[in-house]
Structure 1
Amino acid sequence: MIRLLVADDESLLRMAFRMVFDAEPDMEVAGEAADGERAALLARRLRPDVVLMDVRMPGMDGIEATRRIVRDSPRSPVLVLTTFDLDEYAFAALKAGAAGFLPKNARPEELLSAIRAVAAGEAALSPRVTRRVLERFAPQMTPPPALRDDRLARLTAREHDVLAQVARGLSNAEVAAALRLAEATVKTHLSRVLVKLGLRDRAQVVVFAYESGLVRPAADPPEA
């Protein structure tokens, strides 16, 4: 059973979410919050499997609440939902440690699939979409060089190669083809990368690769 915490300042929307989730045999709503501070508190208290987080709420917003939950309740991944389908919000959510980002007008099956993916420890935002967001906002990233070198030094040469390919948005099969490895071997290397770097999913791998300087933003395409 996937236990959910729903954080949104609109009570009718929380009610609608509850009706959808309670109709699923593998989901239940463990708690609701109307603001970010309450969401962070309930995440610590209830330890939900997934937190559904609105961005714009009174008091503490969803981005700051996500940051606190990732810090204080790391076993409760956050899926950010917003009516504002803008890259700026996706970037802020990913930087805060969210496991995914979806607009509120996503189809129910998309939302349910994303919840199940996040609960299983996967990212609900494809690496390619993550990379598109970071290509635009990577210049804002200025990590300390010492941190950058220390974390990358934990990886073997092959793990480093896999990290770089995943950060470019490649699937496991595509990484396997590029590096001439078995797909199962790629999965093993990626699992080790996640453990060594303390990352949760592929979306965080992409964020780390850009922040560390391993992957650079693509040059702007030439004007027509």
Structure 2
Amino acid sequence: MKDKDLIRVTIIEDDHVLRETYAALIDSEPGFIVVSSYNSYEQSAAEIGADDPDVILLDIELPGLSGIEAVTHLKQLTPRSQIVMLTVHQFEEGVLKALSNGAIGYLTKDISIEKMLSSIRTVVSGGVPLSDNIARMVIQTFHKNPNSPLSERQTEILKLMSQGKGRGEIANELNIDGETVKSHVKNIYLKLEVGSKVEAIQKAKALKLL
């Protein structure tokens, strides 16, 4: 197969082992070629235009400029490239922001290499690859009450609470301190006029806030 017939892939991922693993697996698959890999947006900026990838696999949590912020810059540097986000955590705010910035797909890192390759093919053929849980999240967003009294962050925290996560776990996942979580929870209770986590979750579901 001629190089021009191969799907050209660039990987931007700060985890060296993961980056090299993705590159080796994708490169070994017929029909694909990894033209470049970088550990940050900043490292990629000078070269990615010349790399001319069909698809960019972009980690959402990069050092320096985050993946979410990098989407807009990458679209300017290489307009024809399609960007697929890679993430460990599927935070609603981050998912929607990346998609609105120009990303065409969103995959969680626990997917199989077969699913990743299939997703890359989907992008090239004009489709929109989303992990099942990401797709469900996006759909649920359209089902939510648009007049929610809760902020996006408060909704995110309440959703994690509904998954059984404690304040410490929520703080770690959202990269905020425990006191900030505590303050948000207090405001959630005030806005929903409830006095407990169970009541907050039940009322939020009844009002289609989750």
TM-score over 0.5 for the alignment?
yes
Number of the residue aligned with 2:62: 57
**Superposed displacement of residue 33, structure 1:** 0.9
The separation in 2 between residues aligned to 1:138 and 1:67, in whole angstroms, is: 27
Contact in 1 for aligned 2:23/2:37 (Cα 8 Å)? no
Task: Render the CA deviation track for 1:120-162: whole Å, top value 9, x for unaligned.
Answer: 22211389643334555977xxxxxxxxxxxxxxxxxxxxxxx
Number of the residue aligned with 1:152: none
Which residue of the other structure, out of 116, 123, 139, is the alignment partner of 1:131?
Answer: 139
Number of the residue aligned with 2:206: 222
TM-score w.r.t. the length of structure 2 is: 0.61
**CA distance 1:72–1:24, shift in 2 (3 Å):** same
- 2:36 maps to 1:31: yes
The separation in 1 between residues aligned to 2:144 and 2:78, in whole angstroms, is: 29
* Greater C-alpha radius of gyration: 2
2:206 aligned partner, one-letter code: P
**Superposed displacement of residue 64, structure 1:** 1.4
Contact in 1 for aligned 2:12/2:37 (Cα 8 Å)? yes
Number of the residue aligned with 2:119: 114
Give percent identity, aligned residues only: 30
Contact in 2 for aligned 1:37/1:65 (Cα 8 Å)? no
SS across alignment from 1:121: coil
TM-score w.r.t. the length of structure 1 is: 0.57
Q: How does 1:139-154 map to 2 (within 5 A)?
A: none
Aligned residues: 145
Unaligned runs of 5+ in 1: 140-219
Unaligned runs of 5+ in 2: 1-5, 148-203
Number of the residue aligned with 2:47: 42
Aligned-pair Cα RMSD in Å: 2.8
**Superposed displacement of residue 19, structure 1:** 1.5
